[in-house]
Amino acid sequence: MIFIIILLAFFPVGFFATYFLTYLIYYYALAKNLIDIPNSRSSHSTPTPRGGGLSVVIVCLAVLWLSMAFSMGDKPEGEHELLLEIAPLVAIAGIGFWDDHCHIPAPWRLLVHFGASALVLMKFSQLPTIVMFGFSIDNQWLLGFLYLFGWVWLINLYNFMDGIDGIASVETITVALGAAVLLWFLHHDKNAAYAALIFFAGMVSGFLGWNFPPAKIFMGDVCSGFLGFSLGIFALMTSDSVNIWSWLILLGVFITDATFTLIKRILNKEIWYEAHSSHAYQHYARQLIRQFQQQGFDSHDARTQSHRRVNYQMTLINIFWLFPLASIATFYPYWASLITLIAYLPLIFIAQHLKAGSA
| Number of structural domains in the chain | 1
Q: Are 129 and 136 contacting, i.e. CB atoms less than 8 angstroms apart?
A: yes
Q: How far apart are CA 147 and CA 106, in angstroms?
A: 20
Whole-structure pTM value: 0.94
Q: Are 53 and 226 contacting, i.e. CB atoms less than 8 angstroms apart?
A: yes
Per residue in 171-215, pLDDT (tens digit) is: 999 999 999 999 988 875 666 788 899 999 999 999 999 999 999
Domain span at residue 154 reads 2-353
Residue 89 located in a structural domain: yes
Average pLDDT taken over every residue of the chain:
90
Residue 108 located in a structural domain: yes
Q: With 80 as the cut, is the pLDDT of residue 134 above it?
A: no
Q: With 90 as the cut, is the pLDDT of residue 359 above it?
A: no
Per residue in 234-271, pLDDT (tens digit) is: 999 999 889 999 999 999 999 999 999 999 999 988 87
Residue 11 located in a structural domain: yes
- pLDDT in the model for residue 307: 97
Q: Are 216 and 210 contacting, i.e. CB atoms less than 8 angstroms apart?
A: yes
Positive or negative, the CA dihedral 45, 49, 53, 55 is: negative
274 vs 157, higher pLDDT? 157
Residue 95 located in a structural domain: yes
- pLDDT in the model for residue 55: 96
- pLDDT in the model for residue 40: 56
- pLDDT in the model for residue 110: 95
Per residue in 44-99, pLDDT (tens digit) is: 567 889 889 999 999 999 998 888 777 665 565 555 566 778 899 999 999 999 99
Q: With 90 as the cut, is the pLDDT of residue 39 above it?
A: no
- pLDDT in the model for residue 73: 57
33: alpha, beta or left, given left = phi > 0 and alpha = psi -120 to 50?
A: left
Residue 346 located in a structural domain: yes
Mean pLDDT for 138-155 is 96
Residue 358 located in a structural domain: no
DSSP 133-163: TTEEE--HHHHHHHHHHHHHHHHHHHHHH--
Residue 132 located in a structural domain: yes
Residue 359 located in a structural domain: no
> What number of other Cβ atoms are within 10 A of residue 187's Cβ?
15
